[in-house]
Amino acid sequence: MTTPRLILHGGAGPWEKDNHEQVLEGMRQAIQIGWDILKNGGTALDAVEQATIILEDHPLFDAGVGSFLNDQGEVEMDALITDGATRDFGAIAAVTQIKNPITLARLIMTRTNHRFFVADGAERIAVEFGMQLVPNFTFITEEEFANFKKRLANQTAIEPGRGTVGAVALDQNGNIASATSTGGSPHKKKGRVGDVPIFGAGGYADNRFGGASSTGIGENIMRHLLSKHAVDLISSGVPAHDAAVAAVEAVANSIPSPEVGVIVLDSKGNLGAHHTTAHMPVAWIDKDGTPQVSMTKPYNI
Ligand code: ASP
């Protein structure tokens, strides 16, 4: 039997606001939910989905409630779930009425013959699965609406104090899964989709080697398939932590100030995390089964 492992991120970014303790508390809640599943023999897929749901429902993260508004004052969300046992994925992009995008991504992977749905087509599938659509305003926090109005007026908003969320887990059967969910970048143009739902960019998992979830400026992550690159490094013998560092540095070597980060986990349960931004909240369960959190590198995982 494999010893389960779990690591989460809450988004690479400046995290300028004085809210770090509340952010880390949200990370602790999410990792506890995922860890309870894993330590009771649950699956990596359940652990990453449920941990991600906690962060989607939490207003201090750029996923679900708390997502950044686009240039039309609307929340548009993207999500990806990956299954390392089958090297499979489910993805959605530009949805506006799905309470927990990660759950719809998983349903698409497991219950359709397709893998990636966008916008109202994704929402139509959600209704077919019995999911309820929710109004877009339910995702919009007062703080984000105030920031949106400042951005519209070309004033400087104190932000971003929120980030995309991601999770990577290894369960007792040796299965690896990743989940990534986002509202995208602040004031993105309507219809803009970043790295998150792109298999290999926003997330990746292959039981033979490991799994990863990425965050930061999606345009830079996509160009490097950051999550796949990190797992490829692991597959060629690079330790998990060094793979996270090298994969992020590869982006930084070709794109100045790329503002990206990644969390990784290998098939033996070693963890790694690295970022180029001021902060990237990360939570993990240490070898003694104790939750740990940190706003920034080095994480001493
Ligand atoms: N990667 C996300 C995107 O570009 C945003 C983030 O991780 O902060 O949509």
Q: Is residue 133 part of a domain?
A: yes
Q: Is residue 196 part of a domain?
A: yes
Q: Is residue 277 part of a domain?
A: yes
To test the ligand 1 pocket, which listed residue (67, 92, 185) has its Cβ within 8 A of the most ligand atoms?
Answer: 185
Q: Is the CB of residue 168 less than 8 Å from the CB of residue 212?
A: yes
Q: What is the pLDDT of residue 17?
A: 85
CATH for 175: 3.60.20.30
Q: What is the pLDDT of residue 160?
A: 62
Closest Cα to atom 4 of ligand 1: 218
Burial of residue 39 (number of CB atoms within 10 Å: 0-12, 13-18, 19+): middle
Tokens, residue 262: 């990644």
Residue 151 one-letter amino acid:
R
Q: Is residue 299 part of a domain?
A: no
Confirm or reject: Cβ of 96 under 6 Å from ligand 1.
no
Per-10-residue mean pLDDT for the chain, 301 residues long?
A: 97 92 98 98 98 98 97 98 98 98 98 98 98 98 94 74 92 98 96 98 98 98 98 98 98 97 98 97 95 96 91
Confirm or reject: Cβ of 65 under 6 Å from ligand 1.
no
CA of 155 to the centre of ligand 1 (A): 22
Q: Dihedral of the CA atoms 198, 278, 162, 245 (nearest 10)?
A: 30
CA of 260 to the centre of ligand 1 (A): 9
CA of 154 to the centre of ligand 1 (A): 22
Q: What is the pLDDT of residue 157?
A: 64
Q: Is residue 300 part of a domain?
A: no
180: annotated active-site residue: no
Q: Is residue 267 part of a domain?
A: yes
Q: What is the pLDDT of residue 214?
A: 98
Query: What's the sign of the alpha-carbon dihedral 117, 56, 13, 251?
Result: negative
Domain range for 276: 5-294
Confirm or reject: Cβ of 196 under 6 Å from ligand 1.
yes
Catalytic residue among 52, 82, 103, 164: 164
Q: What is the pLDDT of residue 155?
A: 73
- Structural domains counted in the chain: 1
CA of 34 to the centre of ligand 1 (A): 22
To test the ligand 1 pocket, which listed residue (9, 60, 182, 223) has its Cβ within 8 A of the most ligand atoms?
Answer: 182
Q: Is residue 184 part of a domain?
A: yes
Spell out a b/e string for 175-187, using b for 16 or more CB atoms within 10 Å of the CB, else e.
bbbbbbbbbbbbb
Q: Is residue 169 part of a domain?
A: yes
